[in-house]
Structure 1
Amino acid sequence: MFNTKAFGDSKFRFQSLTLVFYLIGFVVVLAETIFHIYGKSLCLAEGCRIVESFVKGGDLILLIAGLVLFGVLIFLSSYKFPEKIKPLIEYIHSGILIAALSVEGYLLGFQLFIIKELCIFCLTVFGILFISICLRLFKKRLEMVYAFAGFVCLILITYFVNPEINLIPSSRYVLVYSRGCPHCEEVIQFCKTHSISVQTIEAKEISGILRTLKIEHVPVLFCDEGTTKKFIVGQAEIKEYLLSQAPQTTTQEGVCPIFEKEKCQ
């Protein structure tokens, strides 16, 4: 015989456990929000700062959204709704979790495939939502399968469609070239002749970035001058710039050094 009392107790335990995870999520986001107000963060990973730099309005927007999300989930899990609207409330509850995990899919994909840095805080929130959704699955809320489907779809989208911003090498000078481009080859040979250290990358490997910057021609030189970043387009302009940055040495023609006769001019 089916034990309805045991099933009811199990359902109550899952609901209580889900509420506990929502409370943990709310506390974590609230703590990060307070730290953020004072210019600090619970997350010391580089990925956290990179993700924040890409958010319009700053990290505070995501934190407020997280507080609202977990606040609503806590309310839906703890408030005693009338029996006649409970089914509707459950679907709303599930819909919010589906949307939340889908957003986490994009954020995780952004970190894995675009910036290639992980935000520990984001992973913590993702873990809380993931466990909460699994608990609802155990409660026979089969619509939670859509949450995982949305999560996987958003991760795949960020994998197949991304600007590949991380592919520009970290170097003072990076020369973007195309095979068969005589102007590119001329610049490369110029750098070899003058012993200028330049890292090269083929244009097709960062085509997304070039389109974003509205760069339609090669060669292109990306320059990292510390606080100043610039790019220079064109063979003559690149050669002129590199010569201007090269160390200047003064030499005299028609003389011979006394102690290094092999350097006679």
Structure 2
Amino acid sequence: MPKIKILNFYPVFYVAGFIIVLTEFILHIHGKSICTTQGCRIVESFVKGGDLILLISGLALFITLIFVSLYKFPPKIQPLIEYFHSGILILALSVEGYLLGFQSFVVREFCIFCITVFGIILLSCLFRLIRKRFEIIYAFSCFISIFLITYFVNPEIGQIPSSQYVLIYSKECQHCEEVIQFCKTHSISVQAIEAKEITGALRTLKIQHVPVLFCDEGATKKFIIGQDNIKEYLLSNISQKDIQEGFCPIFEKEKCQ
């Protein structure tokens, strides 16, 4: 009797996973999401074809698992189906190893939706192990191996420093150099960071050109793109005190004493 109860948990988990992925799929079509964390958007930005590819793959995964766990196969091929069942879970948990490692060690942001799906697959594998399907041990081995690989070998996405003004530049960019010199001339405190150090973050924000000025105004965060736009923004934020003390904005000479 306990054996049957454990076996019956399989379709329950798979149906739950299917419903979660289907809900996310429908919301995605309408421009919404179950997950509102930055991690979800970053993971999506690195998937070829976007989040839709992952969602379709998830739907296919759970539909297949539901079919395999509920359909009454002939006794002759049932042992082969059991190995096929385990093989799907091994592949799924291996993929989750990469996704979870990517979020843990690369972007350092977590996708709630991804973690939920991972939890369902992990529980399914544990119940598979309880049912003495020992081949499922490969799933845990693959998961741990791939998870650790993302720790030792991963592209650095980088984070934008915490500062009022952060200038993102490239050494090969003449416009960037002009903005840097402009800030030096006007004694504007700006923290500079090379674009290659935060390539992933820029890609996520769909920013393809530098210079870029990140402005932290408390409750408001802004990205100013382009040499002229950055100069204009910085000049517009120069305090009247600076002007009174002799600071002369080069584009507003009429305000100088």
Q: How does 1:1-265 map to 2 (within 5 A)?
A: 9-169=1-161, 172-174=165-167, 194-200=186-192, 206=197, 209=199, 223-224=213-214, 226=222, 229=225, 247=235, 248=249, 249-250=252-253
**Which 5+ residue runs of structure 1 have no aligned equivalent?**
1-8, 179-186, 214-219, 233-239, 258-265
Question: Using the alignment, how far apart are the partners of 1:49 and 1:14 within structure 2?
Answer: 36
Question: Using the alignment, how far apart are the partners of 1:244 and 1:41 within structure 2?
Answer: 37
CA-atom RMSD, angstroms? 3.6
Question: Using the alignment, how far apart are the partners of 2:135 and 2:43 within structure 1?
Answer: 30
Give, as a single letter, the amino acid of the residue that structure 2 aligns with 1:38.
H
**Which 5+ residue runs of structure 2 have no aligned equivalent?**
172-178, 204-209, 216-221, 236-248
Count of aligned pairs between the two proteins: 224
Match of 1:237 in 2: none
Give the structure with higher Rg (CA).
1
The Cα shift of 1:246 comes to: 5.2
The Cα shift of 1:47 comes to: 2.0
The Cα shift of 1:36 comes to: 1.6
Normalising by structure 1, what TM-score? 0.70
The Cα shift of 1:202 comes to: 8.6
Asked if 2 retains the 8 angstrom alpha-carbon contact of 1:173 and 1:221, the reply is: no
CA deviation string 1:82-109 (max 9, x = no partner): 1121111111111110110111111111
Question: Using the alignment, how far apart are the partners of 1:142 and 1:252 within structure 2?
Answer: 79
Match of 2:239 in 1: none
Identity of aligned residues (%): 56
**Measured at CA, do residues 80 and 196 of structure 1 come closer, stay the same or move farther in structure 2, by a change above 3 Å?**
same
